[in-house]
Amino acid sequence: MVKFVCDNYNEMSRLAADIMAGQITGKPFSVLGLPTGDTPIGAYMELAKKRLDFSGVSVFCLGEYYPINRKNNQSHYYQLFDGFINKINMKRENVHILNGETDNPDEECKRFDEKISHAGGMDMAVLGIGVNGHIGFNEPSQSLVLKTHLCDLTARTIEENSKFFGSDEVTPHKSLTMGMDAIFSAKRILLLANGNSKADAVSRIFSGAVTTSCPATMLNLHHDVTIIMDKEAAAKIQAE
Ligand code: PGA
């Protein structure tokens, strides 16, 4: 595991964009896993500014609220298009986002996993991290689910997400999420974390323990993980 501690959010975003740009120029037909949320907004802005050719790149978004209308400006569909895809020349048919409007979530999840395996897995998965250590929406639990699935969000995540929706009552209580299998299929993983609220979860990654009570600790078992943080998110990592 490689870690970078940056002075601030902008520096973290620029470094993440440089690493992602290196992936795309090195392999123009890269398959990426991408998150939404607050964390990657700056990296997407920096990456879009580079005016790279994304016409061969494919994307699988890590999750989607359920149920949610795609036109809802809090949907991951809306966020990924608005924050990134609309600014680059990626082909619409190469963007894969779980359908939060489906009435058959199991089928939707199965189809999504099939598309990822058909694409040969991901070359690079970019991840955020929840305050509770979730990755994608793989929430802390006694066991983690391998396949893409519909999950119940924890009270902590619902509370966090209410910053986007305005109140806990209207915040979705379920999500479709890429499972651990697809995330681990990525050849490289890039995790971004900024701010004090992430410091506990980040420190657990470096604690030396691997536990499903903090899904991000599982990343210790992957062979190619880079973590980029700002100083606040790194503040609780114990000196090695
Ligand atoms: P955030 O969410 O980027 O909005 O903090 C990260 C996550 O929950 O994975």
pLDDT digits (tens, 9 = 90+) for 142-167: 999 999 999 999 999 999 999 889 88
**64, 175 in Cβ contact below 8 A?**
yes
Nearest residue CA, atom 8 of ligand 1? 130
pTM: 0.97
All domains of the chain, ordered by start, with CATH? 2-238 (3.40.50.1360)
Mean pLDDT of 74-94: 98
Q: Residue written as tokens 């790149």?
A: 57
Q: Residue written as tokens 């793989």?
A: 138
**135, 177 in Cβ contact below 8 A?**
no
Q: Taking CA 230 as the corner, what is the angle to CA 22 and CA 181, rounded to the nearest 5 degrees? A: 60
Q: Does the beta carbon of 201 lie inside 6 Å of ligand 1?
A: no
pLDDT category, 240, cuts 50, 70, 90?
A: low
Q: Counting atoms of ligand 1 from 1, which one is nearest the CA of 163? A: 4
pLDDT over 90 percentage in the chain: 96
User: Whole-angstrom Cα distance, residue 97 to residue 34?
Assistant: 10
**What is the 23 CA–ligand 1 centroid distance (Å)?**
23
Mean pLDDT of 3-15: 98
Q: Does the beta carbon of 130 lie inside 6 Å of ligand 1?
A: yes
User: Whole-angstrom Cα distance, residue 240 to residue 231?
Assistant: 16
Structure confidence at residue 169 (pLDDT): 78
Q: Does the beta carbon of 153 lie inside 6 Å of ligand 1?
A: no
Q: What is the pLDDT of residues 49-66, one digit of tens each?
A: 999 999 999 999 999 999
Query: Which of 233, 200, 192 is CA-nearest to residue 15?
Result: 192
**100, 67 in Cβ contact below 8 A?**
yes
Q: What is the pLDDT of residues 102-123, one digit of tens each?
A: 999 999 999 999 999 999 999 9
**What is the 137 CA–ligand 1 centroid distance (Å)?**
9
User: Whole-angstrom Cα distance, residue 90 to residue 94?
Assistant: 7
